[in-house]
Structure 1
Amino acid sequence: MVTPHAATESEICAELETSPEGLSTSEAKRRRKEHGPNQLPQPQQETWWQRLGRQFADPMIYVLIAAGVLTLLMGQVMDTIVIAAVVIINALVGFIQEGRAANALDSIRDMLAPETTARRDGHPETIAATDLVPGDVVQLSAGDKVPADLRLIEASNLSIEESALTGESVAAEKDTAETAEDAAIGDRSSMAFSGTTVTGGTGAGVVCATGADTEIGQVTGMLSEVEDVSTPLTRAMGKFSSLLAIVAVALAVGMVLIARLAYGTDWGELFLAAVGFAVATIPEGLPAVMAITLAIGVQKMARRNAITRRMNSVEALGAVTTICTDKTGTLTRNEMTVRRVITAAHSYEVTGGGYDTDGEVLLDDHPADPDAHRDLALITQVADLANDADVRDGELVGEPTDGAIKAFALKTGASVPAERLSEVPFDSRYKYQASVDKLADDTTRIHLKGAPDRLLARCSHQLSPDGGTEELDRDLWEEVIEKLGADGMRVLAAAIRTTDSGSGEISTDEIDAGGFTFVGVWGIIDPPRDEVIDAVAQVRRAGIVVRMITGDHATTATAIAREVGIDEGRTVTGAEIEEADDEKLRDIVREATVFARTSPEHKLRLVRALRANGEVVSMTGDGVNDAPSLKQADVGVAMGIKGTQATKDAADIVLADDNFATIGAAVKMGRTIFDNLQKAIAFMLPTNGAQGLVILVAMLFGLTLPITPVQILWVNLITAVTLSLALSFEPSGPDIMQRSPRAPDTGLLPGAAIVRIVYVSVLLGGATIAIFSWLNAEVDMDTARSVAINALVVGQAFYLFAARFTTATCLRKELFTTNPISWLCVGIMLALQLLFLYTPFMQAAFSTSPIGLNGWLISLALGVVVLAVVEVDKALRRP
């Protein structure tokens, strides 16, 4: 088949066996049976029970389930109930909190037109868009959604907004001329793509692709093929859980065999001890603590206008090494703005952004007065009068480029009273607009604005520096235009000519006759958001590389990248990406920071190449063309205001304020969450280590168990839901955004934390055994166990104070001021422990007894010792 955008009108009609009059109804029905409906395929979605089942897919949960089954078979009903409660609560927390991106394809479908006007049997007919077939001829007018991919055969001043597909901020002007075979999507001016919107003019096109074969259909195909990416935390927790489960089971089996062979212990007692050991060594509260920590981060980010759809994504953003971002609407305002005004006399700078009129026009850094500068006054008149746009309170009514120069005119403060007598509207065929205006001094003047090459061809003179006229210096203006273009600006030119036409009527023939005076040019750009420059600098200080991936032209992309502070690297075009295989692309992405004229497939390949290089990738975007790459990235971030619904549904995080700076705040939050999770794990594991050590030593040496399995579960739960939770509220460290990102394959815990876990486990476990052994000879077993348990819990409370500060000492005022929640959690823990020790119901359920003052003094003594040992260790490790 011929390539539609590169074929002539007659070639595409011949290829599809149609004509400008369209198909007959009978032929359309035949083709519909052959091609099927013009709609996107329905994806298979995950059911709620599949989603619930995934919550149990964790090695630690497997061990707990096995322990619950064993206790049930052995008649230990209370143990079974407590274990089951832990497993079910963890699963429900994950089930409720987890977000899914399954609605992305539905959102893209909503972009498609429900009805359209097609030529059937030689006349226009309104039909359902799903009934379109290749060869149909579709009529387009302003406001229409394009219902399929069309090769245009008619175009009258036709412009189509394609930013959702191409990323360009300005509506694309369309015509019927064929384009190059290798033209990027944004350069295919002879095509109208499904899901885009007609913003002006009229046209007609032959349907050359429907349903999944359209450009937007290919995007949905890529989206459905992209598998969900696990986050660094998920991968690290998976390895950690597997290792912990294997170690726990191996030690339990070894313990049972040794105790049976050495002491002939009864199998029932052995299995109960094995269950107790498994319960002791598995931190069953860890999944809940992780979910709660992430949920707290989600809530904090929501207050910062970042809506998190998957909990792990907040932490994952803290691990990113590369942020890939779209340009239009993400780094930029998606509002055209005049930045430079150049005449033969002066070069003016224009401040302010978008359609806000609060900026100024500056000459040599001082406000320029149009009354003192005739060149500025005249170019302001052209901007104001040859213009159909209106700007009110920062809002645009009309075409973006017209809005940009209208805002410029208002910034000058010049009043241009005039009566419009006639006009030539803008048309993409001749690329200019003219108005005939009667000015306050009764002069009648033609004000002309448009493409610089078209105006230069119609001018014989230019405005001279002294305010008069002189012969046109075309070389000068071509050099100016080229320089502005190299700076990424779109250039628009202004010209004037007085006329003595009494009626004021004007036509294109009169304009094409020439004789105009060239006044100057405007340099127009979609400027960066005010906050983006600082935000990019912040994430770069955090060791993160920012890369721009856009559908816009290379010069514009490079200019914006330079302005916002993206590190200077290679600028790579879509054509280069197309030519590179996957291995070559991996080399390209190592050194390139700007990727221009990219298609949705290019963006997806770039993200995959970066991830193949070991990068943790965040992709930011707002258009449908960004959706597949957002889903493929480790963290997909969508713009909430100007982003399409499909992009939001495919993303992990949605920025409610479309503010790139919010990403910096999210990175900081993600790093804080990981720090706090590390602290929580390093805090929880000594409890499990101590309990496991107690049971292991007791079984290996034939001793009475100092703590029963159900008491172990109590200790695990009370420390997890109170003390461990306190660490979720720890504030960010002062240097958190000056660190380099952690390596993706980094373990969950650093070496120093592992060493601390070992010695605190030995300290707490040894003390628990010693306290029980000493008291068991003095008091009854339940009381001895109660004091031992209480000492373990109080020791953990003191360890919490030390664990809040990884390297710094806790003996300072920040212990009391930076995390008041920690003191509340300690208070709740003590209240629960009092219930555990002193209420009859809890005494009956857990076989405990009340303890006296001596028991509390023993517990406090152990707590002080633990705190002192950890603080000495931190002091020795500090440089």
Structure 2
Amino acid sequence: MSKAVHAHGRSEILAALRTSADGLGSVTADARLAEVGPNRLSEPTRKPAILRFLSHFNNVLIYILVGAGVLKAILNEWVDFAVIVAVAVVNGVVGYLQEGKAEEALDSIRNMLSLEAQVRRDGHWVTVDAETLVPGDVVRISSGDRIPADMRLLDASNLRVEESALTGESVPAAKSTLRVHPDAGLGDRTSMVYSGTIVAAGTGIGVVTATGTDTEIGRIQSMMSEIEGIDTPLTRKLAEFGQQLAVAILGVAAVLLVIGRLIHRFTVDELISAAIGFAVAAIPEGLPAVVTVTLALGVQQMARRHAITRKLPAVEALGSVNVICSDKTGTLTQNEMTVRTVATSARVFTVTGIGYRPEGEIELDGDAVSIEDHPDVTALVATLALCNNARLTEADGQWRIVGEPTEGALRALAEKADAVPASRRLAELPFESENKFMATLNEDAEGHRLLHLKGAPDRLLDRSATQLRDGVAEPLDRAFWESRIDELSDRGLRVLAAARLDAAGVDGPVDVSDVDSGLQFLGVVGIVDPPRPEAVAAIAKCHTAGIRVKMITGDHAGTARAIAREMGLTATPTPPVLTGSDLQAMSQPRLREVAGDVDIYARTSPEDKLRIVSALQADGKVVAMTGDGVNDAPALTRADIGVAMGIKGTEATKEAAGIVLADDNFATIERAVEEGRRIYDNIRKSVLFLLPTNGAQSLVILVAVLFGFALPLDPVQILWVNMVTGVTLSLALVFEKAEDHIMARPPRPADRSLVAPADLAMITVVSILLAGAALAAYFLTRAAGYQLPTAQTAAVNMLALGQLAYLLNCRFLSSSSLRPAVLRGNPWIWRMAGALIALQLVFIYAPFMHTWFHSAPITVRGWSIALALAIVAFLIIELAKALGRRLGY
């Protein structure tokens, strides 16, 4: 069966499907069901929970850590083994618990399918389980139904279908039985209806052309299951850093083994202990926990800003985004149709207010007017209000419509103008796609009868003889109206016209012939799904922050261009627009060349959105993709960070996204980007704070092996220092406030190293200082006649207090910490310092810690030495920072 079923006539489709307008027989349907399978989406292949848990140990640094634990077990040092393995397991558990549940997106798509369907079987209409539908079945649909399968329409009466979840269209699509061009995009296939969409109005009969995974929604599910998510910039940099560090650790450990064996004649046990000690010292095993907790706390902060984070790395990824691809409908715009312009033969009026809330004014040249002074407007608005089936409702301060969005916009206009005349409807001629207008017969309180019409301007102009100007009828000036309509259309407005006809003596029902000629043309209105005001400001802030915003929508090119200009998305008077057909004719290499320069994409399909995101990523961009429909889900999955609308978004979109906006507000994305930048800054501070601990400990072990004396630190003691500083002091930096002008600087380059050369120089200086201080504490304690455990405990305490001093240095990396401000602004500094001291007291004086970590009590003199050395280290580091600033680093 050809995929372009929308391009074939009804008889051709029925013949190709071996069926008829009377549907299938039960026997034939059962046979086809056995052949093609049930009309449902397939279950995804799920990775077992144990494999998902083990995947969090797939890290080269964890391999080294676990290897060290295994060696400890071989040497029967079971306490050391238990501590090392516990650290690795804790990191794995934290990662597993925070893992995103993206596979639930596929469940959400399956839940969009209909449960039952009205099908013609054996010549009779019956209700069946939608899963039993097969290609060739003839199905009946009506207003409010969820369409159970992809169908080619055989009959349609005033049929309009809400397809925004698939196409992004802001209004229901009018359907007909006429074939369309084979290359028509999904939103232009008016002869087709698709599984999972909803009938907004009218009735129809169609023949099933595809079921289950062969439907459009099934294709989207397949696309999502095949797409691999992209690691965030921080994730990639941490992985690269881990690999580089692992190579360095293994290389230096090998050198230590050679030196220890050939020069100092160490025993095998001593060599293994030294190598393990160095490896454990160099591995920043506390880093994953610090990053995880930092991101988790960032999640809480972002939630207060209405951005709900589903996947932890998404918090940081927003901070590095340099392109935001946004759906238009419901994301940049209100997803509530609004009358923006009212045009009569004499004047053009502007309407204020947004959405269905009946608040606003009708203005002329910027001044509010009363329509009582403008009879033309009074007549136009009255007709639009009477020839209307929508009504407005209010609940919890939110205004909604019962009916179609376009009619809701017209009803809101009438309420704003307070121009809903008392009238009794006698008859109605419903909107039909063949006629493109609606008519009602109304009688006012005085018994006067009028036919009111609204619809496509060309159809009403064809039937009009006069127009109203300042309350007086005059001959119709069609050229004038066509020019006015073109002008409004060029501004991206959807144009509707109104007309009326004296109906004295007409009783109804109303027929098309009753309104074939002699109408009085009243004017036109321009309707638009208006931009969110806060989104306009947010786009401006994004541009200041070096972030490009691109609109990807299912709407027509003219509408998309007009909205883009209004939102300030582009400063070009006639910005370039690529449509779905343009993209289909374009190779992926060519799309990669032009994607960065084009900010507006119209009439796009799910595949188009996915290709655009992939092209931008191939060009080195860090891409955020926003959306609310299931058609956005594949692109959200592929993007570096997917952002879903929480109120109007489908469940599939929310599950595919990393972040869900609780208020459906594009401005929230901008605030989330700011928060993401702050979080990255604080993660970087934490990393630069933690690494000197590992550097200092590695140097202590290295010096001990090179000079052949007893190890000043045991491997489990090294783990203690790493973990205790990681869960206390480094977390204090999480609460640092955002730097000034954080949104005035460009996004950080995606290839920027986590540790810059200047940072590496600082890490080296601090590592040498802390290592020297720890060795000094160790030798001073040994020189005073204390045993090895006491000397090692003194060295551990020196490293802990040295890190506390260095924490104050890290609060202001680019400026001096020798000022009172270093003691203020972040109360967590002192809370975590207190926690560190408390843990150190337990380490030093608790007997069970002596067993586990080979520690021992130290005297007041030992504390004094450590405190004095920490102060000296703080001052020397400040001197090094001042020298770096002077040299321009």
The aligned runs of 1:576-655 (5 Å cut-off) are 576-655=582-661
Equivalent of residue 693 in structure 1, options 699, 703, 712:
699
Secondary structure of the structure 2 residue equivalent to 1:55: helix
CA gap 1:870/1:427 in 2 versus in 1, 3 angstroms: same
Q: Match for residue 213 of structure 1?
A: 214
Paired letter, 2:228: E
Cα gap change, 1:817 to 1:426, in 2 (>3 Å): farther
Aligned residue runs from structure 1 range 102-141, under 5 A: 102-141=103-142
Aligned to 1:172: 173
1:796 has 2:803 as partner:
yes
Q: Counterpart of 2:159?
A: 158
The residue type paired with residue 548 of structure 1 is: M
Structure 1 counterpart of 2:842, from 832, 835, 856: 835
Work out whether 1:492 is the aligned partner of 2:496. Answer: yes
2:255 matched residue in structure 1: 254
Letter matched to residue 417 of structure 2: T
Letter in 2 for 1:767: A
SS of the residue aligned with 2:187? helix
- Assess if the C-alpha contact under 8 Å between 2:610 and 2:638 holds in 1: yes
| 1:541 counterpart = 2:544 | yes
2:158·2:430 contact (CA, 8 Å) conserved in 1? no
Q: What is the SS of the residue equivalent to 2:749? A: coil
Q: Quote the offset at 1:504 in angstroms.
A: 6.0
Matches within 5 A, 1:417-432: 417-432=422-437
* Counterpart in the other structure of 1:309: 310
What SS does structure 2 have at the residue aligned with 1:434? strand
Residue aligned with 2:346, SS: coil
Deviation per CA, 1:293-318: give whole Å up to 9, x if none: 11111122222222212111111111
Report the Cα distance in structure 2 between the residues aligned to 1:689 and 1:348, rounded to whole angstroms: 72
Counterparts of 1:830 and 1:426, CA distance in 2? 78
Q: Deviations over 1:474-512 (max 9, x none)?
A: 111111111111111111101122232163653221111
2:413 to 370, 393, 408: 408
Aligned to 1:364: 365
1:560 maps to which residue? Answer: 563
Residues 1:511 and 2:510 aligned together: no
How far did residue 289 of structure 1 move? 0.8
Q: Among the aligned pairs, what percent are the same residue?
A: 51
Q: Is the 8 A contact 2:229 2:637 kept in 1?
A: yes
Matched to 2:831, the amino acid is L
Q: How far apart in 1 are the matches of 2:222 and 2:661? A: 25
* 1:527 corresponds to which of 511, 530, 535: 530
Are 1:806 and 2:813 counterparts?
yes
Equivalent residue runs for 1:745-784 within 5 Å: 745-781=751-787, 782-784=789-791
SS of the counterpart of 1:371?
helix
Q: 1:707 corresponds to which residue?
A: 713
SS of equivalent residue, structure 1 residue 318: helix
For these two proteins, the number of residue pairs brought into alignment is 877
CA contact (8 A) 2:781 2:862 kept: no
Question: Which is further off, 72-81 or 4-13?
Answer: 72-81
2:477 to 452, 473, 490: 473
Q: Please report how far the alpha carbon of residue 570 of structure 1 lies from its aligned counterpart in structure 2 after TM superposition.
A: 2.0
Deviation at 1:817, TM superposition (A): 3.4
**Partners of 1:26 and 1:784 in 2: how far apart?**
89
Q: 1:198-244: per-residue Cα shift (whole Å, max 9, x none)?
A: 11111111111122221111111111111122111111111111111
Give, in angstroms, the shift of residue 286 of structure 1: 0.9
**Matching residue's letter, 1:192:** V
SS of aligned partner of 1:494: strand
Match in the other structure for 1:439 = 444
TM-score, length basis structure 1: 0.98
Q: Which runs of 5+ in 2 are unaligned?
A: none
Shift of 1:421: 2.8
Aligned AA for 2:529?
D
Shifted more, 436-445 versus 769-778: the winner is: 436-445
C-alpha distance in 1, partners of 2:154/2:294? 59
Deviations 1:426-471 (A, max 9, x none): 222212122222234543222211111111111111112x321211
Distance verdict in 2 for CA 1:790–1:122, change over 3 Å: same
Pairwise CA distance, 1:415 = 4.9
Aligned to 1:668: 674
1:184, 1:18 → 2: CA distance? Answer: 27
* 1:782-818 Cα deviation digits (max 9, x unpaired): 3333333222211110100111222122234543332
| Partner residue in 1 for 2:355 | 354
Return the offset for 1:392: 2.6
> What's the CA shift for 1:728?
1.7
Shift of 1:405: 0.7
Instruction: Quote the residue 1:375 is aligned against.
Output: 376
Give 4+ residue runs of structure 1 displaced > 4 Å after superposition: none
Letter in 2 for 1:484: L
Q: Which amino acid aligns with 1:162?
A: E
What letter matches 1:869 in structure 2?
Answer: I
2:371 is paired with a residue whose SS is coil
User: What displacement does 1:633 show?
Assistant: 0.8
SS at match of 2:554: coil
Counterpart amino acid of 1:786? T
How far apart in 2 are the matches of 1:113 and 1:256? 68
Matched, 1:89 2:96: no
Alpha-carbon separation, structure 1, partners of 2:647 and 2:45: 29
AA in 2 matched with 1:739: R
Using the size of structure 2 for normalisation, the TM-score is 0.96
1:570 to 576, 580, 586: 576
Q: Which residue of 2 aligns with 1:722?
A: 728
| Residues 1:845 and 2:852 aligned together | yes
SS at 1:561 equivalent: helix
Q: Which moved more, 1:298-307 or 1:551-560?
A: 298-307
- The 1:372–1:441 alpha-carbon spacing in structure 2 relative to 1, beyond 3 Å, is farther
1:566 aligned counterpart, secondary structure: coil
Give the distance between the partners of 2:71 and 2:5, measured in 1 at CA.
68
**Does the alignment pair 1:330 with 2:331?**
yes
Write the letter of the residue equivalent to 2:791: A
Tell me the secondary structure at the aligned position of residue 45 of structure 1.
coil
For structure 1, the residue ranges without an aligned partner over 5 or more in a row are none
Matched residue SS, 1:324: strand
Match of 1:55 in 2: 56
Match of 2:883 among 853, 858, 876: 876
Residue range with higher mean Cα deviation, 154-163 or 491-500: 491-500
1:669 CA displacement = 1.8
For residues 214-233 of structure 1, the aligned pairs below 5 Å read: 214-233=215-234
The answer to whether the 8 Å contact 2:386/2:420 transfers is no
> How far apart, in 1, do the equivalents of 2:851 and 2:21 lie?
89
Among 841, 845, 870, the residue aligned to 1:863: 870
1:550 to 546, 550, 553: 553
1:684 pairs with one of 674, 690, 701: 690
Structure 1 distance, partners of 2:146, 2:510, is 34
Rounded to whole Å, the distance in 2 between the matches of 1:564 and 1:875 is: 46
Segment drifting more, 824-833 vs 854-863: 854-863
Find the counterpart in structure 2 of residue 483 from structure 1.
487
Distance 2:596 2:525 in 1: 37
- Using a 3 Å threshold, how does the CA distance of structure 1 residues 658 and 814 change in structure 2: closer, same or farther? farther
Q: Equivalent residue of 1:533, what SS? A: helix
Aligned-partner Cα distance in 1 for 2:460–2:555:
25
Mapped partners of 2:62, 2:640: distance in 1: 25
